[in-house]
Chains A and B, each alone.
Chain A
Amino acid sequence: MRLSYTKALNRALTDALAADPAVCVFGEDVGAGMAGPTLNLLERFGPGRIVDTPLSEQGFTSMAIGAALTGRRPVVEFQIPSLLFLVFEQLVNQAHKFSLMTGGQAAVPLTCLVPGSGSRDGWAGQHSDHPYGLFAHAGVKTVVPATPTDAYGLLRSAIADPDPVVVFAPAAALPVRETVTWELAPIPLGRARIHRAGSDVTVVAVGHLVHDALAVAEELAPELSVEVFDPRTLYPFDWAALAASLERTGRLVVIDDSNRSCGIGAEVLATAAEEMRLVAPPRRITRPDGAVLPFAPALDRAVQPHREQLRSALRAFGPLRPPYGEGRAR
């Protein structure tokens, strides 16, 4: 079966809705399926469960919290990543805090889905953010799947989870397709995936950048052996898997499509520096500090992490292997 990323999200929602009558979907244009993941859900599950909302993000997100507190499992779709700024109060100050503040009386099984996070080429400053680090910082469970299979499995787990989860589906990953010969199934939150094993450098790549990291790793294979580490869940992060990877490689590069200061890349480097085996200073490739994506295509691309930066970061570790692959210089 050929599976696109968006279709995988659609399948995950369909299967979750079919499996549990408490699951429902709120969002703008979800009836028409404007963003893709909710296509045909209204026809199958009806307006009682697929709820087209007015343009009142704070109102309907709060409402979803009220529904989650009283037995429903709402999925809220946001067509634009920047809408998360509008509902930061609802997600961080309300949904995330209910469990602790009520002494464990309340759970908020709420999933927020952002199909098309990060740059979508040409949508400029207010439609191109990638604020996953903000949620990871706040302690909200945060997921950034890179592949259709992971998108399916992680969205299923997010919906089943008793806590709020934000699922970022990077716009640049949406065109990814997979030939799926396996049964799609839930994938536990908090487990990293090693897409490519390597022995010289660990590249932690977030979301769509996994595919760039894989391409660069392949390209540089004659020079160095790169392990491509996809955290999949940014919070809670699979620190044990990263420690195991660095035990093998001792070198770390993070490639992360969000702003540099206080970004998830900073957290990965800090934790590795404090607690893990490193034989060389770690590096990160991110958007610049405080970046606002400019409109013009060349400028938009200029502030996003790109392959050339990853190549040079990897090569900066020095010649780790002689040109013809004989032996090793460590």
Chain B
Amino acid sequence: MTRNGPAAPDPTAPDPAAPGSTGPGSTGLDTVAGRYRMLRLVRGFEELALALVRAGEITGGIHPYVGQEAVAVGVCAALRPQDRITSTHRGHGHVLAKGADPGRLLAELLGRTGGLNRGRGGSMHAADFSLGILGANGMVGAGGAIAVGAAWSARQAGEDRVAVAFFGDGALNQGVLLESFNLAAMWRLPVLFVCEDNGYATTLPAATAVAGSATGRAAAFGIPAVEVDGMDTEAVRAAAAEAVERAADGGGPGFLRCRTYRFEGHHTMERLMKLRYRTPEEVADWRTRDPLPRAAALLPPGLAGQLDASVRQQLDAAREFALASEHPSPERALEHLYADGLRPRAGARA
């Protein structure tokens, strides 16, 4: 298996031996143009979801991924269809970049039966096991050791699959994540740990929460750890490709710390709360590093506009599909609780 370095010069030519270029689970991320398109899709999806939250269509709120798109797209561009990911509460970008259908993801956020999880999981638990997406997860750091288990499982089965765990800077202080570093390193498992450092654990600045450094923590377990500009899709892809190749070749786990920023609040409630944990200047400064214009600059003139238009069409169709999808009926509230179909007792006697 071979992989590319950064920034393919011809934006429309597939990278040699690129992953995910054909067949089921194809994400189209094998070209610079495809990666730009995915950035736009994730951004557009979040804008659509934010509008649906404001309109009261999506209940409970979401954790918007706006600003961090380069991490999901760069990492997933380095993956093959058979590779697996675990995601976080801020997971829409990972789920889309790994190939999930935007209409079904949106239907999930809306709690409809056409959703990825039939409306049973919502934003924080979106999963598509057929694409190796083992789920967004509502508990910070929980996906780390689950990904390690998936990697162990693949090795046991003699399958060539790498598992990627996405997590934020907040997860660096979860003991179970550090335990998962140890297990992955001790057993040289094919795992890529991706720390998406957006600078804040909700409102707590990473600078006041993480002793030492993110990469230092991975390095302490003997895991090769790399700092990468998390606003630069091509840089993320190059670093991820190297780590994924090494992991797949039996070289053990890797760790990327992608410095990034969320342009929106921690969650959609935040707009109502007028919090002051970061300054408007800081947000404006990070917006100048927006990964989308940066990726668009790699494209020939006019192509970004065409791709934007095709994403708009795709999202219009996704919106239409999702809003037309049925609401689940209340008598089926506990369907799927047990894999063997066990029906639990009702909460009141009939």
Contact = CB atoms under 8 A, between A and B. Distances in A.
Interface centre among A65, A69, A90, A239 (most CB of B within 10 A): A69
A276 to B, nearest CB: 12
B149 A70 contact: yes
Contact of B116 (A56, A68, A103, A163): A103
A99 B179 contact: no
Interface stretch (B23-31, B125-133, B270-278): B125-133
Interface in B46-97: 84, 86
B120 A100 contact: yes
A103 B117 contact: yes
A62 B142 contact: yes
A291 B145 CA distance: 33
A39 B142 CA distance: 32
A106 B129 contact: yes
B230 interface: no
Interface string B142-154: 1011111111111
Nearest to B191: A66
Given A105-B117, A106-B129, A161-B340, A63 B156 contact: no
B153 A65 contact: no
Given A54-B186, A104-B118, A62 B146 contact: yes
Contacts of B337: 99-100, 139
Q: How large is the interface on B (under 10, 10 to 19, 20 to 34, 35 or more residues)?
A: 35 or more
B142 A94 contact: yes
Given A65-B146, A71-B153, A163 B120 contact: no
Interface string A1-41: 00000000000000000000000100000000000000000
A8 B339 CA distance: 27
Contacts of B120: 100-104
B338 A99 contact: yes
Interface in A96-154: 98-109, 139
A65 B163 CA distance: 14
A102 B150 contact: no
A71 B337 CA distance: 19
B176 interface: yes
A66 B119 CA distance: 23
A30 to B, nearest CB: 15
Residue from A72, A101, A275 with most neighbouring chain B CB atoms (10 Å): A101
Interface size class of chain A, counting residues whose CB lies under 8 Å from the partner chain: 35 or more
B183 A56 contact: yes
Contacts of A68: 149
Contact of A101 (B125, B148, B183): B125
Contacts of B145: 58-60, 62-63, 65-66
Interface string A66-85: 11111110000000000000
A247 B148 CA distance: 51
Contacts of A294: none
A93 B180 contact: no
B349 A66 contact: no
Contacts of A90: 176
A63 B180 contact: yes
A66 B150 contact: yes
Given A58-B179, A67-B156, 14 more contacts: A54-B179, A59-B145, A59-B183, A60-B183, A62-B144, A62-B148, A66-B153, A100-B337, A103-B116, A106-B129, A108-B339, A161-B340, A190-B342, A275-B349
28 contacts: A54-B186, A56-B176, A56-B179, A56-B182, A59-B179, A62-B144, A62-B148, A62-B180, A66-B147, A66-B148, A67-B152, A67-B153, A70-B154, A72-B156, A90-B176, A93-B139, A94-B137, A101-B120, A101-B121, A102-B121, A102-B336, A103-B120, A104-B118, A104-B336, A104-B339, A106-B127, A162-B338, A162-B340
Interface of B: 84, 86, 115-121, 125, 127-130, 134-135, 137, 139, 142, 144-154, 156-157, 163, 175-176, 179-180, 182-183, 186, 334-340, 342, 344-345, 349
Interface of A: 24, 48-49, 53-54, 56, 58-60, 62-72, 89-90, 93-94, 98-109, 139, 161-163, 190, 236, 239, 274-275
**6 closest cross-chain pairs (CB), A and B:** A66-B149, A59-B179, A62-B145, A103-B118, A107-B339, A162-B339
